[in-house]
Structures are given as structure tokens and as C-alpha cells.
Amino acid sequence: MKLGVIGCGKMATALVKGAVSHGVVRAIDVIGVARTEASRLRFTEQTGARNTAAMAEVVKESEVLLLATKPHDLPKIIELAELRKFPDKLFISVAAGVTLETMEKLTGGLGRFVRTMPNTPSLVGKGAAAFSLGSKCAEGDRDIVQSILGSVGMSVEVPERLIDAVTGLSGSGPAYIYLVIEAMAVGGVQAGLPRADALKLAAQTVAGAAAMVLETGLHPAVLKDMVTSPGGTTIAGLAALEDGAIRSSFIAAISAAVARAKELGKN
């Protein structure tokens, strides 16, 4: 596979780095373009891939193009790169809010587009991503997308109408969990733990609990009950969380983020 990258920021670099390290693509078969030389050099340094200042070169050399520009720049890039002339190529977009319909219209309905929503833990190989295939995608395109996204974590395919829900849940979700880790660490400090130790313990506890859900396949409620002894410390803590409406607060946060994603998409 010949992979081109338009926009060599952190997410694109993480995806290419993961794809190369997992053997999805060879570094020699990847070429990226970015607006600044500093970005291009950083991309090459971290991935081993080539870089160029010429977008036309990237488009010409690639079979698959990763579109990793800012959302408001993507329509302009599609037109400048004349992507309508390349219906044989697969275009994978990580630009939040830009719909498949918008991208396809800009290529006269000919472009093979995939819309993705990765999240920032992709930078450390623990990403949670979703993707939606466009109307012109061919057999095998799904496997290509899954191999790239899967190289930095896990991915699920969803109908495009659910991409905003993914944005509110896993796209914005890391920020919610950072808040949880911060709050847990503060609680540990209040109880007398050194701040550095409290932060490590809180972060590892979150990571371990998440691994238990993913690796055992058990419902979180079942795992929660396994920790909760009658009259013990855990039930006392859970009762305090319920007093603070912890569940409804998280549900409300995700609903608010989804609503905002829909609003941004319309704009």
C-alpha cells in the first residue's frame, strides 16, 4: 500500500507511526505534506516516512490518502488537490464535523471517502476510534481503514449518523477521565498520600479497571459488585458518588458534547 498524508500533525503522525510499527505499511511507502517545514521534518523524524512540500506529489504517489487537516481547511484542500480526478484512490478523513456528503460533493460524487473519529490516546497506542464508509467505497476499503486505526488501538464501524455520538463519548471522553483521575488523586492527597504517588495510583486504577472491562467481557456493574463488600469501604464511597449524581453527570456531559458536535457539523 502506498500511503499519502495531507497534514502531518500529531494524529496523522500517530496513525502512520502505528501503521509502520505494525507492518500495515512500510515507511518507505509513506509520504506526507504539511504547510511548514518544521511539521514535515517532525513527521519524518518520528515515522521514518518521506516528506515533501508539494501536495500534488503526495496525491500522485499514493493509493490511500489520509486527510488530516483542520476541518475548516479540508474542503479547500480537496479542491486544491483536485481529488475529483482520482476516483481510484481511497481518502480517509480525520477532520471532525466534515460529512461524507460534503466530501463526496466536492469530488462530483466520485470520491471514495471514509470518515473517522479517532481520539488522543491513539498517540500512545490506546486509541478508541470509529469510522463510516462513504457510498463509493469498494470491497477491501473497510479492511484498510481497520488496519490503520487498529494499529493505534481499537476501532468500530458505525453509520455516519452516529459519528456525533462517538465524538461525545470517545472523542471527548479522555477529558472526562482525566478529570476523574485528577479528582481521585486529590482525594488521595487529602487522605495523606504524596501527590505523585496519589496520581500514579489513580491513573493505574483507571487503566486497570478499563482493562478488566475489555479483557473479561463482564458488565461494569458485575465488576463493580465484585469489589463491593457489604458494609465495606467501597460501598461507602459509591454511596457518596451517588449522592453527587455521578452517573447522571456523565450522561449529561456526553449528551452536551454530542449536541455540540451536531451543531458544529451543521456549521
- Which residue, chain included where needed, has cell 458485575? 222
- Boundary of a domain, candidates 126, 145, 162: 162
- DSSP letters for 212-246: HHHHH---HHHHHHHH--TTSHHHHHHHHHHHTTH
Q: Does residue 158 sit in the same domain as residue 177?
A: no
Q: How confident is the model at residue 141 (pLDDT cuts 50, 70, 90)?
A: very high
pLDDT of 263 > 90? The answer is no
Q: Does residue 130 sit in the same domain as residue 37?
A: yes
Domain count, the chain: 2
22: enclosing H helix or E strand: none
CA-based torsion, 259, 261, 265, 267: positive or negative: positive
User: What is the per-residue pLDDT across 61-85, written as a single tens digit (0 to 9) for each?
Assistant: 999 999 999 999 999 999 999 999 9
Q: Does residue 118 sit in the same domain as residue 139?
A: yes
pLDDT of 187 > 80? The answer is yes
- Boundary of a domain, candidates 101, 135, 162: 162
pLDDT of 138 > 80? The answer is yes
42: number of Cβ within 10 Å: 17
Q: 190-196: long-range contacts (C-beta < 8 A, 24 or more apart)?
A: none
Model-level pTM?
Answer: 0.91
pLDDT of 266 > 80? The answer is no
Beta strands in the chain (DSSP E): 3-6, 30-33, 50-52, 64-67, 90-93, 112-117, 127-133, 153-157
CATH of the domain at 156: 3.40.50.720
Instruction: Classify burial at 160, counting beta carbons within 10 Å of its beta carbon; exposed 0-12, middle 13-18, buried 19 or more.
Output: middle
- Boundary of a domain, candidates 130, 162, 194: 162
pLDDT at 243: 96
CATH of the domain at 244: 1.10.3730.10
Q: Which three cell numbers stand for residue 44?
A: 519524518
Q: Does residue 228 sit in the same domain as residue 97?
A: no
Q: Does residue 156 sit in the same domain as residue 56?
A: yes
Q: How far apart are CA 250 and CA 130, in angstroms?
A: 20
User: What is the per-residue pLDDT across 188-239, written as a single tens digit (0 to 9) for each?
Assistant: 999 999 999 999 999 999 999 999 999 999 999 999 999 999 999 999 999 9
Q: Which domain holds residue 98?
A: 3-162
pLDDT at 200: 98
Q: Which three cell numbers stand for residue 127?
A: 486509541
Q: Does residue 147 sit in the same domain as residue 209?
A: no
